[in-house]
Amino acid sequence: MLIKTVLLFFAFFVLSIGPFLETKVEVEQNSNGTASRNFKFNGIPSPKKDDAAAKATLTLIDGPIDGGSGELSALVDGMLPTSEDDPGANVFFRAGSMGGRFRMDFGSPLDISQVVSYSWHSNSRGPQLYKLYAAEGSEANLDLAPKRGVDPVTLGWKFIALVNTIPKQGEDGGQYAASVTDSSGSLGKYRYLMFDCYVTELSDNWGNTFYSEIDVMERR
């Protein structure tokens, strides 16, 4: 794996995090030997069926979904993979591509307290690498479908967090949960979330993550 190469390739991400120090990204990994279909983690909650994302509409913005992938709706249906290699129960971009972008629409702005993404694969498709953006919906210059190569921040989106679960050492495979929260208790009031997903390694064509589920919690 050219993990170090990928980390250097995405080093520019770090430069954009400065103004968002209150945003917290927590990551947990279950190894191949301990991962189970229950998606149990020590601190991050297991996927829920009744979270805010369950009623959201998902739209592909850019990038090719793999022919063996499930539909985008698989990310919010509460149905989890039964094993570490269950393509139809996950969402992933086409082999050899550099990932892509998709949008989540709640229909109206929600006060979001937490976003959690889950993935599972026995090898390099396990780790996650994506940027999370959000929009309230009334931004004057908002483009709901910014293509790759265009900075969404220039088109009405707000950068929320970089999620990077690539291990610095040890096995890449296993089950991952990445939680995005804010010290204030709220990430903000948004109608839209956008996930800008990237490959986790460049040594072969199998670096696109098997995303299993995405949960969004509304602040109460």
pLDDT bucket at 170, cuts 50 / 70 / 90? confident
| Residue 40, C-beta contacts closer than 8 angstroms, at least 6 positions apart | 30, 46
Q: What is the pLDDT of residues 39-94, one digit of tens each?
A: 999 999 999 999 999 999 999 999 999 999 999 999 999 999 999 999 999 999 99
Q: How confident is the model at residue 5 (pLDDT cuts 50, 70, 90)?
A: very low
Listed by start position, the domains of the chain span 3-14+23-218
C-alpha closest to that of 121 among 201, 42, 35: 35
Helix, strand, coil % (nearest 5) of the chain? 15, 35, 50
Q: What does the alpha-carbon distance between residue 165 and residue 174 come to, in Å, rounded to a whole number?
A: 11
Using alpha carbons, select from 104, 120, 118 the residue that is nearest to residue 47: 118
Q: Give the architecture (CATH level 2) of 3-14+23-218.
A: Sandwich (2.60)
What's the confidence (pLDDT) of residue 2?
45
Cα(131)–Cα(27) distance, integer angstroms: 15
User: CA–CA distance from 152 to each of 124, 132, 146, 157 (Å)?
Assistant: 27, 10, 6, 5
pTM score, two decimals?
Answer: 0.91
- Phi and psi of 52, rounded to 5°? -65, -30
Give me the pLDDT at residue 211, please.
98
